[in-house]
């Protein structure tokens, strides 16, 4: 199998380590293979792929879309390095309000699966970072929502004290005041 799938501290989050074939010409790796992902429990359809380019210190997040346009995300870095965070926002979840952080980079080539029901954000650690992510639902302005990056109740240990933020990301509410329409259910992905 060209991938190793590892469940993280919040089991719905899955780190995917692709097998990388390197030689004097460069490298080759598969970044997505539906049968392997389904066998690992990632049984979703990706309908859109996005790419962002950001400079050092930029923080994007914490974003999510409410149902019926809730989005699962498959995130990888093709240039640079990011500090990536996913927060469980599924009401009644045993890990509600908990978060997982990890480094995704062009060097480690790891991929992160973040299902619907999680807020997601990242901070750029390198001079430039390009992030590619597949999503399970198209963008919907009416469903767009977020949580303020520095919510004191979440206490995320970001690697930057004064990040570069969009105007929208400066105004998201705290988790306790956010418009969240996700509920926890003990089910597979």
Gap between the Cα atoms of 118 and 98, Å rounded: 10
Contact indicator for 132, 48 with CB cutoff of 8 Å: no
Residue 34: strand, helix, or coil: helix
Selected catalytic residue, list 63, 64, 113, 120: 63
Q: Is 120 a catalytic residue?
A: no
Q: Kindly report the backbone phi and psi dihedral angles of residue 183, in degrees, each rounded to the nearest multiple of 5, phi listed first.
A: -130, 140
What b/e readout covers 57-68, taking b as 16+ CB neighbours within 10 angstroms? bbbbbbbbbbee
Q: Is 183 a catalytic residue?
A: no
Gap between the Cα atoms of 39 and 30, Å rounded: 16
Selected catalytic residue, list 64, 133, 183, 184: 133
Listed residue (72, 59, 68) closest to 170, CA to CA: 59
177 burial via Cβ count (<10 Å: 0-12, 13-18, 19+): exposed
So which residues are the catalytic ones?
A: 63, 133
């Amino acid at each position: 199998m060209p991938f190793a799938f590892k469940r993280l501290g919040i089991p719905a989050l899955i780190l995917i380590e692709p097998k990388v074939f390197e030689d004097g010409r460069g490298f080759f790796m598969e970044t997505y293979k539906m049968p392997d992902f389904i066998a690992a429990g990632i049984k979703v359809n990706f309908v859109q792929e996005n790419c962002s380019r950001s400079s050092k210190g930029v923080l994007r997040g914490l974003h999510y879309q409410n149902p019926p346009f809730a989005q699962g995300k498959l995130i990888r870095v093709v240039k640079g390095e990011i500090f990536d965070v996913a927060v469980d926002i599924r009401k009644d979840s045993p890990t509600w309000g908990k978060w997982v952080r990890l480094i995704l980079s062009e060097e480690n080539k790891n991929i992160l699966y973040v299902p619907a029901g999680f807020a997601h954000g990242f901070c750029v650690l390198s001079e430039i970072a390009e992030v590619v992510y597949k999503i399970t639902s198209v963008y919907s302005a009416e469903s767009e929502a977020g949580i303020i990056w520095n919510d004191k109740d979440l206490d995320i240990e970001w690697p930057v004290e004064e990040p570069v933020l969009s105007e929208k990301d400066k105004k998201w509410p705290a988790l306790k005041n956010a418009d969240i329409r996700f509920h926890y259910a003990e089910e597979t992905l």
